[in-house]
Copies of this chain bind each other. A is one copy, B any other.
Amino acid sequence: MLTREELIEYSDEARKNYLEHISIDCVVFGFHEGQMKVLLLKNIGEEKWYLPGGFVLKPEPIEMAANRILNERTGLDKIFLQQFHVFGAPDRSKVHNDMYADMLPPEQNWFSNRFLSIGYYALVDFSEVTPKADRFSELCGWRDLDDMPTMELDHELIFKTALDTLRLQLNYQPIGYNLMPKEFTMPELQKLYETILDKKLDRRNFQRRILAFGILNRAEQPRKGGAHKAPYLYSFDLEGYRHALTEGFKGGW
């Protein structure tokens, strides 16, 4: 929550620098210890959760805006980003419209604007992220996919749409290069797929299918030290991966 003076300053700055009526919201997926995670922000002093988001600078490509916004939250530089939908209901920013409504007249108040939000989802390497809160939030951090809090505005819809899109893309694109560490075992990769899809897959059939895609390289040496039989280590074959990204897996027709 801003004071009146802060609101004036923020509004003036925003109007000067950002495109009006346009915002960006990001669903950042990470994967850690067999759990799919999403990056969320929590308001100062309130149980109000949000997706990380921001605005587009007047001369800035929207893709770059999404990158900049996420760079501020994660410290990451080159982020795998996928635009997936625009959310354009007229009342979607109503909560924010009302929040500061009596502090400042609408023509001066940035938060009185109607915003269309461009949704991006990001796949990031969990271990390389250092979550940083923004000026409105006391907390920026990971939440488990199966333990998401209630979110403000239409952020639950945005999140759900992102997840649906990700699940769909699993059918014709490789996933994992941006989510897994350099080297990983087959069961670890399978866990990623199972978490995204929220269902169990057959271990043997998964291995055959994934290998048939031709996007993995097997290391010579298996991982040692752990309990149980030492599993082989795999890494993504960048050439095959990129090819699969552009060409897609299966023709369908």
Contact = CB atoms under 8 A, between A and B. Distances in A.
Contact of A193 (B114, B168, B253): B253
Interface stretch (A32-40, A83-91, A142-150, A234-242): A83-91
Interface in A146-204: 168, 170-172, 193, 197, 201
A63 interface: yes
A62 B253 contact: no
A105 interface: no
A20 interface: yes
A252 B172 contact: yes
A60 interface: yes
Given A59-B90, A168-B172, 20 more contacts: A19-B21, A19-B114, A19-B116, A20-B20, A56-B116, A60-B90, A61-B89, A62-B86, A62-B88, A62-B116, A83-B85, A83-B86, A86-B86, A86-B118, A88-B118, A116-B118, A168-B248, A171-B251, A171-B252, A201-B253
